[in-house]
Chains A and B, each alone.
Chain A
Amino acid sequence: MMKELFPIKQVMGFVFSLVLTAVALAVYFLDMSFQLGMTILLVTAFIQAALQLVFFMHAGESNDKNAIYTNVYYAIAIALVTVFGTLLTLIWGYM
């Protein structure tokens, strides 16, 4: 009974999201190299976004599940292609 009422998944998600925020915040307070700091920020940011989507925006909980995830993966793929393609054309591959 208690188990059904208590949103254990959401609470865990909430705690985890706080942890991620704390880690990201640590980048500001601790002394570390720029590269390391950016890496930590990027990684925590993406995990954070995924977490929000799944736990708090209920991405997987309706029968639109497939449409929603297809859309998300598609968006990620296009974003990656655009960002890395742009870096390639304007910086790495520029003569």
Chain B
Amino acid sequence: MEFFERFAIPHPSPLIYASMVGIGLTVIAIVIGLTYFKKWGYLWREWLTTVDHKRIGLMYIISAILMLFRGGVDGIMMRLQTAVPDNTFLDAQHYNEVFTTHGIVMIIFMAMAFIIGMMNFVVPLQIGARDVAFPRLNAISFWLYFAGAMLFNISFVIGGSPDAGWTNYFPLAGTDFSQSVGVNYYMWALQISGLGTLMTGINFIVTILKMRAPGMTLMKMPMFTWSALITNVIIVFAFPVLTIALLMGTFDRQFGTHFFASTNGGMDMLWANLFWVWGHPEVYILILPAFGVYSEVIATFSSRNLYGYKSMVGSMVLISFMSFLVWVHHFFTMGHGPLVNGIFSVTTMAIAVPTGIKIFNWLLTMWKGKIRFTVPMLYSIGFIPLFTIGGVTGVMLAIASADYQYHNTMFLVAHFHNVIIPGVVFAMLAGLTYWWPKMFGFMLNERIGKWGFWFLSIGFCLAFFPMYITGLDGQARRMFTYSAETGFGPLNMVSFIGAALMAIAFILIVYNVYYSFRYAPRNVGQDPWDARSLEWATHNPVPEYNFAVTPEVNSSQAFWDSKKNNHQLFKEKRSKIHMPNNSGVPVIMAGFFFVFGFSFVFSIWIGVIIAALGIFACMAYRTFENDHGRYISLKEIEETEKKYGGAK
């Protein structure tokens, strides 16, 4: 029995026990369902072992939406707790756990998964490739992400959640102040999924540099692909810092080193420093693909070429470098002299310039365009003013001396939600709606989609604008409650109402999927939006091999050219197509990683050793495996093409 005591939750509550039961029942229901409908084989063959970039992309996106739900519940709980003064819905410890997991789930497991999923689905199509450069590695990336996400999500029912904030500052996160295994979960969940992200970075850089369709020079790539390239470059340079910081943190917590201790030669500020050396580039990793989506959507629905392609690319390249020059703005108040703060204040304000350039690019793209107010376009148009507010408050925060007033208040919370929600979440919803027909062959309902947009936007404004005010009035972030005398009560209630509207928006969006799945017409054709870039030159939903014939390209909007300017996309004759084989190794290996992480969290060394052996066995297997892929025969291609209506 003693062995099991370590899995107990240090600070339980009826809510957590209820979740435990809920999780147990859901797992049982899934297992029974799969068995009853005999879907295990289907699941294994078509999804768990797939190396197809489109399916991996979908799995990322589905996971991201699940994580959006989980993080959203955390968010609602926090707003409910603070809706009225002196509330007792959550106590201080639970509130700590909830804001910590909310932050990590949303950034690492929701936003990152969403953008990587979108890149997975779209980038190979946009460059006319059949898959990514290393399809097997891509599957490993996904399953490592998934293992990390699951590890993180079981923390609150087994052993206790991390509670030191998503920034996890030491010494608070050290064993002196965080005794439960919570922070170990943080370390290992991020470590495992971070490895996956790093592999994605390498995979996509190679894919984009080496696998573009003939004629597609770098300066003829669609803008989303450009944003993906830059994002992955940032990933490759930023994530190793996180990897090492997490490893040092693990050593501090589990092996008694003192990297981040305030004594014995350690330096607690080093964690904050390393965290933000990764963390600031991370926010640009999140926002650049969003910019890419907006560029595609705005060009399509303004029926115009993207204004200022070169300045767009240039500003992104500049951002990729500058995003590594500003990290200290996250801890202006932690004891540096005016020289340091001055330098980083200036670099931070400077990075707002290339960001601002893009706003003008989009506005000028719409200028005199024939605008169609579809759901993706609504999100894009809503994004522009809202994101600008977020950017402007960012520049306010960048003024180091003023930041002493704003730092660690709700003003800061309002700022980053103001950039992340209209930036990343709106973009992903826009992209999802826009590419939905490519994924599934039918459209999402526009009317329900518009309701969703309005609920989300109005909810967002109500939820976060009041925080600017209470923040300036001195409401600190991460406080589980406040007294009535502070006067924060009414605005926090508004904020809660906003959060509730956003929850309704989420329900509407999910309901839209169900509704459209049942009622939407299926024969939407190849080009339902009258779009411009290459991914629309193949069928909906996309066949396994993407393009029956590799397209040839001579501009960044090859498909538009083929529609309007008589550009001939497909010149070659059809022939058999070489594709990679599926493999079960990635998911099995990620399973071992999960066991490895879980055992490590609880210092169960025997489990760690066995899982490590399993991981190495998977690698060894891959090394000696002889896999030359397979061919899709010409006959099969002809049949598939005929099914789609045979054009071209």
Across the interface, do B270 and A90 meet the contact criterion of CB distance under 8 Å?
yes
Q: Does A43 touch B at the CB level, under 8 Å?
A: no
Residue of A nearest to B209 (CB): A67
Give min CB distance, A56 to chain B, whole Å.
21
**Nearest CB on A from B506, distance (A):** 38
Query: Among the listed B233, B270, B340, which residue makes an inter-chain contact with A88, where contact means beta carbons less than 8 Å apart?
Result: B340
Closest Cβ–Cβ distance, residue A79 to chain B (whole Å): 9
B299-338 CB contacts (< 8 Å) to partner A:
321, 324-325, 327-328, 335-337
A10 proximity list for chain B (CB < 8 A): none
Known: A75-B237, A90-B269. Contact between A81 and B340, CB under 8 A? no
Task: List chain B residues, Cβ under 8 A from A50.
Answer: none
Contacting residue for B321 out of A67, A77, A89, A94, CB 8 A: A77
The chain A residue sitting closest to B325, CB to CB, is: A81
State A86–B277 Cα separation when bound (angstroms).
9
Query: Are the CB atoms of A94 and B324 closer together than 8 Å?
Result: no
Chain B hits for A64, CB < 8 A: 209
Q: Is A47 an interface residue (CB 8 A)?
A: no
Contact with B along A47-77 (1 / 0, CB 8 A): 0000000000000000010010000001101
A95 lies within 8 A of B277 (CB): no
User: Considering the complex, which residues of chain B in the window 216-271 have a beta carbon less than 8 Å from any beta carbon of chain A?
Assistant: 233, 237, 241, 267, 269-270
Identify whether the interface residues of A are mostly helix, strand, loop, or mixed. Answer: helix
Q: B510-547 toward A: CB 8 Å interface, digit per residue (1/0)?
A: 00000000000000000000000000000000000000
Of B241, B336, B337, the residue contacting A82 (CB under 8 A) is B241
Q: How far is the CA of A75 from the CA of B236 in the complex (A)?
A: 10
A82 touches B321 (CB 8 A): no
Contact indicator B237/A74 (Cβ below 8 Å): yes
Q: How far, in angstroms, from A89 to B325 measured CA to CA in the complex?
A: 12
For chain A, give the interface size range: 10 to 19
Count B interface residues, CB 8 Å. Answer: 21
Mask for B559-575, Cβ within 8 A of A = 1, else 0? 00000000000000000
Chain B residues, CB < 8 A from A77: 321
| Nearest-CB residue, chain A, relative to B237 | A78
Whether the pair A81, B324 counts as a contact (CB closer than 8 A) is yes
Q: Which residues of A contact B336 (CB under 8 A)?
A: 89, 93-95
Contact with A along B330-359 (1 / 0, CB 8 A): 000001110110011000000000000000
Chain A residues with CB below 8 A from B327, complex form: 85
> Which of chain B's residues have a CB closer than 8 A to the CB of A89?
273, 328, 336, 340, 344
B341 (CB) vs chain A CBs: closest residue: A93
Shortest Cβ distance from A60 into chain B, in angstroms?
Answer: 17
Given contacts A93-B337, A93-B340, A94-B336, contact A86 B273 (CB under 8 A): yes
Return A11 CB to nearest CB of chain B, in Å.
Answer: 31
Chain B positions 268 through 307: 1 when the CB is less than 8 Å from some CB of chain A, otherwise 0: 0110010001000000000000000000000000000000
Bound CA–CA A57/B108 (angstroms): 35
CB of B221 to closest CB in A, whole Å: 14
B335 and A94 form a contact (CB under 8 A): yes
Name which residue of chain A comes closest to B218, CB basis: A67
Report the Cα distance A85→B343, complex, angstroms. Answer: 10
Q: Which residues of A contact B277 (CB under 8 A)?
A: 82, 86
Is B321's CB under 8 angstroms from A74's CB? yes
Known interface pairs A75-B237, A86-B277; A94-B328 also in contact (CB < 8 Å): no
User: B335 contacts which chain A residues (CB < 8 A)?
Assistant: 94-95
A94–B339 alpha-carbon span in the complex (Å)? 10
Q: Which of A75, A78, A94 contacts B337 (CB 8 A)?
A: A94
Could you tell me which B residues sit within 8 Å of A by CB distance? 209, 233, 237, 241, 267, 269-270, 273, 277, 321, 324-325, 327-328, 335-337, 339-340, 343-344
- Name 26 A/B residue pairs within 8 A (Cβ), A-sorted: A74-B233, A74-B237, A75-B237, A78-B237, A78-B321, A78-B324, A81-B325, A82-B277, A82-B324, A85-B328, A86-B273, A86-B277, A88-B343, A89-B273, A89-B328, A89-B336, A89-B340, A89-B344, A90-B269, A90-B270, A90-B273, A94-B336, A94-B340, A95-B335, A95-B336, A95-B337
Taking A74-B233, A90-B273 as given, write out 5 further A-B residue pairs in contact, using a Cβ cutoff of 8 Å, ordered by the A residue number: A64-B209, A74-B321, A82-B241, A90-B269, A93-B339
Q: A-side interface residues toward B, CB under 8 Å?
A: 64, 67, 74-75, 77-78, 81-82, 85-86, 88-90, 93-95
The 6 A-B pairs at the shortest CB distance, nearest first, are namely A93-B340, A95-B337, A93-B337, A93-B336, A78-B324, A89-B340
